[in-house]
Structure 1
Protein backbone atom coordinates (compact mmCIF):
# COMPACT_ATOMS: atom_id res chain seq x y z
CA UNK A 1 0.00 0.00 0.00
CA UNK A 2 1.32 3.40 -1.00
CA UNK A 3 2.44 5.56 1.91
CA UNK A 4 0.60 8.66 0.75
CA UNK A 5 1.82 12.08 1.87
CA UNK A 6 -1.16 13.82 3.47
CA UNK A 7 0.44 17.14 4.37
CA UNK A 8 3.82 18.88 4.42
CA UNK A 9 4.69 21.38 7.12
CA UNK A 10 7.91 23.35 6.71
CA UNK A 11 9.38 20.49 4.69
CA UNK A 12 8.27 17.75 7.11
CA UNK A 13 5.94 15.16 5.59
CA UNK A 14 2.94 13.72 7.41
CA UNK A 15 2.02 10.44 5.75
CA UNK A 16 -0.70 7.80 5.95
CA UNK A 17 1.70 5.61 7.93
CA UNK A 18 2.32 8.34 10.51
CA UNK A 19 -1.43 8.92 10.87
CA UNK A 20 -2.08 5.16 11.20
CA UNK A 21 0.61 4.70 13.87
CA UNK A 22 -0.73 7.69 15.81
CA UNK A 23 -4.23 6.20 15.77
CA UNK A 24 -2.88 2.78 16.82
CA UNK A 25 -1.19 4.35 19.85
CA UNK A 26 -4.49 5.72 21.16
CA UNK A 27 -6.59 4.04 23.86
CA UNK A 28 -9.23 1.70 22.34
CA UNK A 29 -12.14 3.90 23.43
CA UNK A 30 -10.64 6.86 21.49
CA UNK A 31 -9.22 4.91 18.59
CA UNK A 32 -12.54 3.98 16.96
CA UNK A 33 -13.50 7.66 16.60
CA UNK A 34 -10.27 8.62 14.81
CA UNK A 35 -10.51 5.62 12.46
CA UNK A 36 -13.47 7.27 10.74
CA UNK A 37 -12.90 9.56 7.77
CA UNK A 38 -13.90 12.63 9.79
CA UNK A 39 -11.77 11.54 12.74
CA UNK A 40 -8.70 11.00 10.53
CA UNK A 41 -9.10 14.49 9.09
CA UNK A 42 -9.38 15.95 12.58
CA UNK A 43 -6.27 14.08 13.75
CA UNK A 44 -4.35 15.18 10.66
CA UNK A 45 -5.19 18.80 11.53
CA UNK A 46 -3.85 18.18 15.04
CA UNK A 47 -0.58 16.73 13.68
CA UNK A 48 -0.22 19.74 11.40
CA UNK A 49 -0.72 22.02 14.41
CA UNK A 50 2.00 20.13 16.29
CA UNK A 51 4.47 20.56 13.44
CA UNK A 52 3.62 24.26 13.14
CA UNK A 53 4.30 24.81 16.85
CA UNK A 54 7.51 22.76 16.62
CA UNK A 55 8.67 24.86 13.67
CA UNK A 56 8.00 28.00 15.68
CA UNK A 57 9.91 26.48 18.61
CA UNK A 58 12.93 26.01 16.36
CA UNK A 59 12.62 29.62 15.23
CA UNK A 60 12.62 30.66 18.90
CA UNK A 61 15.93 28.84 19.36
CA UNK A 62 14.77 26.08 21.73
CA UNK A 63 17.64 23.82 20.60
CA UNK A 64 19.99 26.15 22.46
CA UNK A 65 17.81 26.37 25.59
CA UNK A 66 19.45 24.32 28.40
CA UNK A 67 16.15 23.50 30.14
CA UNK A 68 14.59 22.26 26.90
CA UNK A 69 17.64 20.18 26.00
CA UNK A 70 17.73 18.63 29.50
CA UNK A 71 14.10 17.52 29.11
CA UNK A 72 14.81 16.13 25.63
CA UNK A 73 17.73 14.14 27.02
CA UNK A 74 15.59 12.77 29.87
CA UNK A 75 12.75 11.90 27.49
CA UNK A 76 15.16 9.97 25.26
CA UNK A 77 16.46 8.08 28.30
CA UNK A 78 12.91 7.20 29.34
CA UNK A 79 12.05 5.98 25.83
CA UNK A 80 15.24 3.93 25.65
CA UNK A 81 14.56 2.40 29.07
CA UNK A 82 10.99 1.52 28.10
CA UNK A 83 11.99 -0.08 24.80
CA UNK A 84 14.84 -2.01 26.43
CA UNK A 85 12.60 -3.34 29.21
CA UNK A 86 9.94 -4.39 26.70
CA UNK A 87 12.59 -6.13 24.63
CA UNK A 88 14.17 -8.13 27.46
CA UNK A 89 10.98 -8.93 29.38
CA UNK A 90 9.09 -9.73 26.20
CA UNK A 91 11.26 -12.81 25.76
CA UNK A 92 10.01 -14.27 29.07
CA UNK A 93 6.95 -16.48 28.72
CA UNK A 94 4.99 -19.01 30.72
CA UNK A 95 3.63 -22.16 29.10
CA UNK A 96 0.26 -23.57 30.11
CA UNK A 97 1.89 -26.87 31.13
CA UNK A 98 4.15 -25.01 33.58
CA UNK A 99 1.15 -23.27 35.10
CA UNK A 100 -0.73 -26.54 35.47
CA UNK A 101 2.21 -28.08 37.34
CA UNK A 102 2.21 -25.19 39.82
CA UNK A 103 -1.58 -25.43 40.19
CA UNK A 104 -1.45 -29.16 40.91
CA UNK A 105 1.48 -28.79 43.32
CA UNK A 106 -0.23 -26.06 45.37
CA UNK A 107 -4.01 -26.63 45.34
CA UNK A 108 -4.34 -24.76 48.65
CA UNK A 109 -3.53 -21.50 46.82
CA UNK A 110 -6.59 -21.76 44.62
CA UNK A 111 -9.43 -22.51 47.02
CA UNK A 112 -12.91 -21.29 46.27
CA UNK A 113 -14.61 -19.02 48.77
CA UNK A 114 -16.43 -20.73 51.62
CA UNK A 115 -20.11 -19.75 51.66
CA UNK A 116 -23.39 -20.72 53.32
CA UNK A 117 -27.11 -20.24 52.98
CA UNK A 118 -28.89 -19.22 56.14
CA UNK A 119 -32.19 -17.96 57.50
CA UNK A 120 -32.84 -15.89 60.58
CA UNK A 121 -35.48 -14.43 62.80
CA UNK A 122 -34.67 -10.98 64.18
CA UNK A 123 -36.44 -9.63 67.27
CA UNK A 124 -35.78 -6.84 69.77
CA UNK A 125 -36.51 -8.86 72.91
CA UNK A 126 -34.14 -11.61 74.11
CA UNK A 127 -36.88 -13.42 76.04
CA UNK A 128 -39.07 -13.54 72.93
CA UNK A 129 -36.14 -14.99 70.98
CA UNK A 130 -35.67 -17.70 73.65
CA UNK A 131 -39.38 -18.47 73.64
CA UNK A 132 -39.41 -18.84 69.85
CA UNK A 133 -36.40 -21.15 69.95
CA UNK A 134 -38.22 -23.39 72.44
CA UNK A 135 -41.37 -23.47 70.29
CA UNK A 136 -39.41 -24.25 67.10
CA UNK A 137 -37.49 -27.09 68.78
CA UNK A 138 -40.74 -28.55 70.18
CA UNK A 139 -42.32 -28.14 66.72
CA UNK A 140 -45.11 -25.92 68.03
CA UNK A 141 -44.27 -23.60 65.15
CA UNK A 142 -42.02 -23.88 62.11
CA UNK A 143 -38.97 -21.69 61.72
CA UNK A 144 -40.45 -20.12 58.60
CA UNK A 145 -43.80 -19.32 60.22
CA UNK A 146 -42.06 -17.85 63.27
CA UNK A 147 -40.02 -15.62 60.95
CA UNK A 148 -43.10 -14.43 59.05
CA UNK A 149 -44.96 -13.69 62.28
CA UNK A 150 -42.25 -12.20 64.51
CA UNK A 151 -39.14 -11.16 62.57
CA UNK A 152 -38.45 -7.45 62.01
CA UNK A 153 -36.17 -8.16 59.04
CA UNK A 154 -37.58 -7.84 55.48
CA UNK A 155 -36.40 -11.43 54.94
CA UNK A 156 -39.46 -12.55 56.94
CA UNK A 157 -41.41 -12.49 53.64
CA UNK A 158 -39.20 -15.41 52.54
CA UNK A 159 -39.50 -17.22 55.85
CA UNK A 160 -36.29 -15.60 57.06
CA UNK A 161 -34.21 -16.78 54.10
CA UNK A 162 -31.13 -14.56 53.60
CA UNK A 163 -29.81 -16.44 50.60
CA UNK A 164 -26.16 -17.29 50.07
CA UNK A 165 -23.29 -15.24 51.48
CA UNK A 166 -19.58 -15.56 52.17
CA UNK A 167 -17.40 -14.49 55.05
CA UNK A 168 -17.14 -10.77 55.68
CA UNK A 169 -20.65 -10.02 54.44
CA UNK A 170 -22.44 -10.14 57.78
CA UNK A 171 -21.66 -8.67 61.21
CA UNK A 172 -19.07 -10.79 63.04
CA UNK A 173 -21.32 -12.23 65.76
CA UNK A 174 -23.87 -13.36 63.17
CA UNK A 175 -21.22 -14.73 60.82
CA UNK A 176 -19.36 -16.68 63.51
CA UNK A 177 -22.55 -18.40 64.65
CA UNK A 178 -23.84 -19.15 61.14
CA UNK A 179 -20.57 -20.58 59.81
CA UNK A 180 -20.01 -22.68 62.96
CA UNK A 181 -23.19 -24.72 62.47
CA UNK A 182 -23.83 -27.74 60.29
CA UNK A 183 -26.46 -27.82 57.56
CA UNK A 184 -29.98 -27.77 59.03
CA UNK A 185 -28.75 -26.73 62.47
CA UNK A 186 -30.29 -23.82 64.40
CA UNK A 187 -28.78 -21.73 67.18
CA UNK A 188 -29.81 -23.01 70.63
CA UNK A 189 -29.70 -19.52 72.12
CA UNK A 190 -30.21 -16.04 70.66
CA UNK A 191 -27.25 -14.36 68.94
CA UNK A 192 -26.93 -10.73 69.98
CA UNK A 193 -25.77 -8.10 67.47
CA UNK A 194 -26.16 -4.35 67.07
CA UNK A 195 -29.45 -5.06 65.25
CA UNK A 196 -31.09 -7.14 67.98
CA UNK A 197 -31.44 -10.84 68.78
CA UNK A 198 -31.14 -13.42 66.02
CA UNK A 199 -32.31 -17.00 65.75
CA UNK A 200 -30.16 -18.42 62.96
CA UNK A 201 -30.55 -21.57 60.92
CA UNK A 202 -27.83 -22.63 58.51
CA UNK A 203 -29.55 -24.33 55.57
CA UNK A 204 -26.62 -25.08 53.24
CA UNK A 205 -22.82 -25.03 53.42
CA UNK A 206 -20.34 -24.84 50.57
CA UNK A 207 -16.76 -25.63 51.38
CA UNK A 208 -13.68 -24.02 49.92
CA UNK A 209 -13.04 -26.70 47.30
CA UNK A 210 -10.16 -26.09 44.86
CA UNK A 211 -11.18 -24.12 41.79
CA UNK A 212 -10.84 -25.75 38.38
CA UNK A 213 -7.59 -25.05 36.55
CA UNK A 214 -9.42 -23.46 33.61
CA UNK A 215 -11.07 -20.99 36.00
CA UNK A 216 -7.76 -19.82 37.50
CA UNK A 217 -5.39 -20.44 34.58
CA UNK A 218 -4.94 -16.76 33.71
CA UNK A 219 -4.37 -15.86 37.37
CA UNK A 220 -1.74 -18.60 37.76
CA UNK A 221 0.06 -17.71 34.53
CA UNK A 222 0.09 -13.97 35.25
CA UNK A 223 1.49 -14.50 38.74
CA UNK A 224 4.17 -16.88 37.42
CA UNK A 225 5.08 -14.41 34.67
CA UNK A 226 5.45 -11.55 37.16
CA UNK A 227 7.62 -13.70 39.43
CA UNK A 228 9.76 -14.89 36.55
CA UNK A 229 10.21 -11.34 35.22
CA UNK A 230 11.17 -10.04 38.67
CA UNK A 231 13.64 -12.88 39.15
CA UNK A 232 15.24 -12.14 35.78
CA UNK A 233 15.30 -8.39 36.46
CA UNK A 234 17.02 -8.88 39.84
CA UNK A 235 19.62 -11.18 38.29
CA UNK A 236 20.14 -8.78 35.38
CA UNK A 237 20.73 -5.83 37.74
CA UNK A 238 23.48 -7.80 39.52
CA UNK A 239 25.14 -8.71 36.21
CA UNK A 240 24.92 -5.15 34.85
CA UNK A 241 26.43 -3.64 37.99
CA UNK A 242 29.40 -5.96 37.50
CA UNK A 243 29.61 -5.11 33.79
CA UNK A 244 29.16 -1.33 33.93
CA UNK A 245 30.85 0.93 36.51
CA UNK A 246 28.55 2.22 39.25
CA UNK A 247 29.79 4.70 41.83
CA UNK A 248 27.68 6.34 44.52
CA UNK A 249 28.82 9.78 45.62
CA UNK A 250 28.61 10.73 49.27
Structure 2
Protein backbone atom coordinates (compact mmCIF):
# COMPACT_ATOMS: atom_id res chain seq x y z
CA UNK A 1 0.00 0.00 0.00
CA UNK A 2 1.27 3.46 -0.86
CA UNK A 3 2.49 5.47 2.17
CA UNK A 4 -0.19 8.15 1.69
CA UNK A 5 -2.93 5.49 1.62
CA UNK A 6 -1.49 3.81 4.71
CA UNK A 7 -1.41 7.13 6.51
CA UNK A 8 -5.04 7.76 5.60
CA UNK A 9 -6.24 4.44 7.04
CA UNK A 10 -4.14 4.90 10.16
CA UNK A 11 -6.07 8.08 10.97
CA UNK A 12 -9.23 7.86 13.06
CA UNK A 13 -11.37 9.10 10.15
CA UNK A 14 -9.74 6.66 7.73
CA UNK A 15 -10.25 3.69 10.06
CA UNK A 16 -13.93 4.60 10.44
CA UNK A 17 -14.34 4.87 6.66
CA UNK A 18 -12.72 1.46 6.17
CA UNK A 19 -14.86 -0.11 8.91
CA UNK A 20 -18.02 1.39 7.40
CA UNK A 21 -17.08 -0.02 4.02
CA UNK A 22 -16.48 -3.51 5.43
CA UNK A 23 -19.79 -3.40 7.29
CA UNK A 24 -21.56 -2.31 4.10
CA UNK A 25 -20.11 -5.28 2.22
CA UNK A 26 -21.27 -7.71 4.91
CA UNK A 27 -24.77 -6.19 5.05
CA UNK A 28 -25.27 -6.23 1.27
CA UNK A 29 -23.93 -9.79 1.10
CA UNK A 30 -26.37 -10.90 3.79
CA UNK A 31 -29.21 -9.18 1.95
CA UNK A 32 -28.20 -10.97 -1.25
CA UNK A 33 -28.52 -14.30 0.55
CA UNK A 34 -31.94 -13.25 1.80
CA UNK A 35 -32.96 -12.48 -1.79
CA UNK A 36 -32.09 -16.04 -2.75
CA UNK A 37 -28.99 -15.34 -4.84
CA UNK A 38 -27.30 -18.49 -3.55
CA UNK A 39 -29.76 -20.54 -5.59
CA UNK A 40 -29.69 -18.27 -8.64
CA UNK A 41 -28.10 -20.23 -11.56
CA UNK A 42 -26.47 -17.14 -13.09
CA UNK A 43 -24.94 -16.20 -9.73
CA UNK A 44 -23.76 -19.76 -9.15
CA UNK A 45 -22.17 -19.88 -12.62
CA UNK A 46 -20.28 -16.63 -12.03
CA UNK A 47 -19.10 -17.77 -8.60
CA UNK A 48 -17.87 -21.04 -10.09
CA UNK A 49 -15.99 -19.20 -12.84
CA UNK A 50 -14.51 -16.74 -10.34
CA UNK A 51 -13.25 -19.63 -8.20
CA UNK A 52 -11.70 -21.26 -11.27
CA UNK A 53 -9.97 -17.99 -12.18
CA UNK A 54 -8.62 -17.61 -8.64
CA UNK A 55 -7.40 -21.22 -8.55
CA UNK A 56 -5.77 -20.81 -11.99
CA UNK A 57 -4.00 -17.63 -10.88
CA UNK A 58 -2.74 -19.15 -7.62
CA UNK A 59 -1.61 -22.34 -9.39
CA UNK A 60 0.31 -20.42 -12.07
CA UNK A 61 1.98 -18.22 -9.46
CA UNK A 62 2.93 -21.30 -7.45
CA UNK A 63 4.46 -23.29 -10.31
CA UNK A 64 6.09 -20.40 -12.19
CA UNK A 65 7.30 -18.77 -8.99
CA UNK A 66 9.74 -21.63 -8.49
CA UNK A 67 11.51 -20.84 -11.78
CA UNK A 68 14.48 -18.52 -11.42
CA UNK A 69 17.45 -17.28 -13.44
CA UNK A 70 20.86 -16.82 -11.86
CA UNK A 71 23.07 -13.89 -12.83
CA UNK A 72 25.79 -16.32 -13.93
CA UNK A 73 23.38 -17.88 -16.44
CA UNK A 74 22.54 -14.45 -17.83
CA UNK A 75 26.21 -13.50 -18.14
CA UNK A 76 26.87 -16.72 -20.07
CA UNK A 77 24.09 -15.92 -22.57
CA UNK A 78 25.35 -12.33 -22.85
CA UNK A 79 28.88 -13.49 -23.65
CA UNK A 80 27.67 -16.08 -26.16
CA UNK A 81 25.37 -13.67 -28.03
CA UNK A 82 26.81 -10.12 -27.75
CA UNK A 83 25.15 -9.17 -31.05
CA UNK A 84 21.76 -9.25 -29.31
CA UNK A 85 22.74 -6.47 -26.94
CA UNK A 86 24.31 -3.80 -29.13
CA UNK A 87 23.76 -0.09 -29.30
CA UNK A 88 21.79 0.83 -32.40
CA UNK A 89 23.81 2.37 -35.21
CA UNK A 90 23.17 6.10 -35.39
CA UNK A 91 24.53 9.22 -37.05
CA UNK A 92 24.36 12.97 -36.84
CA UNK A 93 23.70 14.85 -40.04
CA UNK A 94 22.84 18.25 -41.42
CA UNK A 95 20.96 19.03 -44.60
CA UNK A 96 19.81 21.78 -46.90
CA UNK A 97 16.34 21.26 -48.38
CA UNK A 98 15.33 23.09 -51.56
CA UNK A 99 12.67 22.66 -54.25
CA UNK A 100 14.99 23.27 -57.20
CA UNK A 101 17.48 20.56 -58.18
CA UNK A 102 19.70 23.06 -59.99
CA UNK A 103 19.90 25.21 -56.86
CA UNK A 104 20.91 22.14 -54.86
CA UNK A 105 23.67 21.40 -57.39
CA UNK A 106 24.83 25.00 -57.25
CA UNK A 107 25.02 24.92 -53.44
CA UNK A 108 27.03 21.70 -53.52
CA UNK A 109 29.47 23.34 -55.92
CA UNK A 110 29.81 26.51 -53.83
CA UNK A 111 30.23 24.64 -50.54
CA UNK A 112 32.85 22.34 -52.10
CA UNK A 113 34.74 25.38 -53.40
CA UNK A 114 34.60 27.02 -49.94
CA UNK A 115 32.64 29.94 -51.37
CA UNK A 116 30.07 29.50 -48.59
CA UNK A 117 29.89 27.34 -45.50
CA UNK A 118 27.36 24.55 -45.26
CA UNK A 119 25.75 26.22 -42.26
CA UNK A 120 25.38 29.60 -43.99
CA UNK A 121 23.98 27.94 -47.11
CA UNK A 122 21.39 26.17 -44.95
CA UNK A 123 20.38 29.37 -43.19
CA UNK A 124 20.00 31.24 -46.49
CA UNK A 125 18.38 28.62 -48.70
CA UNK A 126 16.91 25.67 -46.77
CA UNK A 127 13.13 25.39 -46.41
CA UNK A 128 13.46 23.05 -43.41
CA UNK A 129 13.09 24.48 -39.88
CA UNK A 130 16.54 23.03 -39.15
CA UNK A 131 17.92 26.00 -41.10
CA UNK A 132 17.97 27.92 -37.82
CA UNK A 133 20.60 25.44 -36.58
CA UNK A 134 22.59 25.57 -39.80
CA UNK A 135 20.77 22.49 -41.08
CA UNK A 136 21.64 20.35 -38.05
CA UNK A 137 19.15 17.48 -37.65
CA UNK A 138 20.76 16.04 -34.55
CA UNK A 139 21.25 12.33 -33.95
CA UNK A 140 19.00 9.67 -35.47
CA UNK A 141 18.99 5.95 -36.14
CA UNK A 142 17.85 3.84 -39.04
CA UNK A 143 14.17 3.92 -39.86
CA UNK A 144 13.71 7.51 -38.69
CA UNK A 145 14.17 9.23 -42.05
CA UNK A 146 12.80 8.48 -45.51
CA UNK A 147 14.79 5.72 -47.21
CA UNK A 148 16.55 7.84 -49.85
CA UNK A 149 17.77 10.27 -47.19
CA UNK A 150 18.78 7.51 -44.79
CA UNK A 151 20.70 5.52 -47.39
CA UNK A 152 22.72 8.55 -48.45
CA UNK A 153 23.44 9.81 -44.93
CA UNK A 154 24.51 6.43 -43.52
CA UNK A 155 26.68 5.64 -46.55
CA UNK A 156 28.96 8.65 -46.04
CA UNK A 157 31.94 9.07 -43.76
CA UNK A 158 32.04 11.74 -41.07
CA UNK A 159 32.53 15.16 -42.65
CA UNK A 160 31.47 13.96 -46.10
CA UNK A 161 28.78 15.74 -48.13
CA UNK A 162 26.62 14.35 -50.92
CA UNK A 163 28.18 14.98 -54.32
CA UNK A 164 24.77 15.17 -56.00
CA UNK A 165 21.37 16.21 -54.63
CA UNK A 166 19.29 13.50 -52.94
CA UNK A 167 15.71 13.50 -54.17
CA UNK A 168 12.86 12.62 -51.77
CA UNK A 169 9.16 13.36 -51.52
CA UNK A 170 10.09 16.58 -49.72
CA UNK A 171 12.39 18.00 -52.37
CA UNK A 172 16.15 18.00 -53.00
CA UNK A 173 18.60 17.54 -50.14
CA UNK A 174 22.24 18.43 -49.74
CA UNK A 175 23.33 16.18 -46.88
CA UNK A 176 26.41 16.25 -44.69
CA UNK A 177 27.18 13.48 -42.17
CA UNK A 178 28.76 15.02 -39.07
CA UNK A 179 29.12 12.07 -36.68
CA UNK A 180 28.61 8.28 -36.60
CA UNK A 181 28.15 5.70 -33.87
CA UNK A 182 28.60 2.04 -34.66
CA UNK A 183 26.83 -0.98 -33.20
CA UNK A 184 28.81 -1.31 -29.99
CA UNK A 185 28.03 -3.89 -27.27
CA UNK A 186 26.17 -2.50 -24.27
CA UNK A 187 27.82 -3.38 -20.93
CA UNK A 188 26.34 -6.35 -19.07
CA UNK A 189 25.48 -4.18 -16.07
CA UNK A 190 23.24 -2.11 -18.34
CA UNK A 191 21.38 -5.04 -19.93
CA UNK A 192 21.45 -7.56 -17.05
CA UNK A 193 17.77 -7.12 -16.14
CA UNK A 194 16.75 -7.26 -19.80
CA UNK A 195 18.70 -10.50 -20.33
CA UNK A 196 17.41 -12.12 -17.14
CA UNK A 197 13.77 -11.15 -17.80
CA UNK A 198 13.90 -12.56 -21.33
CA UNK A 199 15.51 -15.78 -20.10
CA UNK A 200 12.92 -16.09 -17.34
CA UNK A 201 10.04 -15.64 -19.79
CA UNK A 202 11.53 -18.24 -22.14
CA UNK A 203 12.11 -20.70 -19.30
CA UNK A 204 8.57 -20.21 -17.97
CA UNK A 205 7.05 -20.69 -21.43
CA UNK A 206 9.11 -23.84 -21.97
CA UNK A 207 7.97 -25.23 -18.62
CA UNK A 208 4.35 -24.24 -19.30
CA UNK A 209 4.34 -25.99 -22.71
CA UNK A 210 5.85 -29.14 -21.20
CA UNK A 211 3.37 -29.06 -18.32
CA UNK A 212 0.38 -28.68 -20.66
CA UNK A 213 1.53 -31.71 -22.67
CA UNK A 214 1.82 -33.78 -19.48
CA UNK A 215 -1.56 -32.60 -18.17
CA UNK A 216 -3.32 -33.35 -21.45
CA UNK A 217 -2.00 -36.90 -21.22
CA UNK A 218 -2.97 -37.16 -17.54
CA UNK A 219 -6.41 -35.58 -17.94
CA UNK A 220 -7.62 -36.37 -21.48
CA UNK A 221 -9.92 -33.70 -22.92
CA UNK A 222 -12.71 -34.49 -25.37
CA UNK A 223 -14.46 -31.86 -27.46
CA UNK A 224 -18.14 -32.16 -28.31
CA UNK A 225 -18.89 -31.59 -31.98
With normalisation by structure 1, the TM-score equals: 0.83
The alpha carbon displacement at 1:168 in A equals 2.1
Please tell me the root mean square deviation across aligned C-alpha atoms, in Å: 1.9
Q: Which residue of 1 aligns with 2:84?
A: 109
Q: Which residue of 2 aligns with 1:197?
A: 172
Q: Which residue of 1 aligns with 2:70?
A: 95
The alpha carbon displacement at 1:33 in A equals 7.1
Q: Which residue of 2 aligns with 1:236?
A: 211
Q: Find the aligned partners of 1:46 and 1:145 in 2 and give their Cα distance.
A: 71
Deviates more, 1:145-154 or 1:123-132: 145-154
Q: Find the aligned partners of 1:183 and 1:34 in 2 and give their Cα distance.
A: 60
Q: Which residue of 2 aligns with 1:155?
A: 130
One of 143, 150, 156 as aligned partner of 1:175: 150
Q: Is the 8 A contact 1:34 1:43 kept in 2?
A: no
Q: Is the 8 A contact 1:130 1:189 kept in 2?
A: yes
SS in 2 for 1:48: helix
Q: Which residue of 1 aligns with 2:161?
A: 186
Q: Find the aligned partners of 2:69 and 2:25 in 1 and give their Cα distance.
A: 42
Q: Find the aligned partners of 1:51 and 1:207 in 2 and give their Cα distance.
A: 64
Q: Which residue of 1 aligns with 2:58?
A: 83
Q: Which residue of 2 aligns with 1:131?
A: 106
Gaps of 5+ in 2: none
Q: Is the 8 A contact 2:96 2:175 kept in 1?
A: yes
Q: Find the aligned partners of 1:208 and 1:86 in 2 and give their Cα distance.
A: 38
Q: Which residue of 2 aligns with 1:45?
A: 20
Q: Is the 8 A contact 2:9 2:18 kept in 1?
A: no
For each residue in 1:171-205, what CA deviation from the matched residue of structure 2 results, as whole angstroms up to 9, or x when unmatched? 22211211111111100011112222110000100
**Larger relative contact order, structure 1 or 2 (CA cutoff 8 Å, min sep 6):** 2
With normalisation by structure 2, the TM-score equals: 0.92
Q: Which residue of 1 aligns with 2:184?
A: 209
Q: Is the 8 A contact 2:98 2:173 kept in 1?
A: yes
Q: Which residue of 2 aligns with 1:3?
A: none
Q: Find the aligned partners of 1:198 and 1:52 in 2 and give their Cα distance.
A: 74
Q: Find the aligned partners of 2:39 and 2:4 in 1 and give their Cα distance.
A: 36
The alpha carbon displacement at 1:246 in A equals 2.9
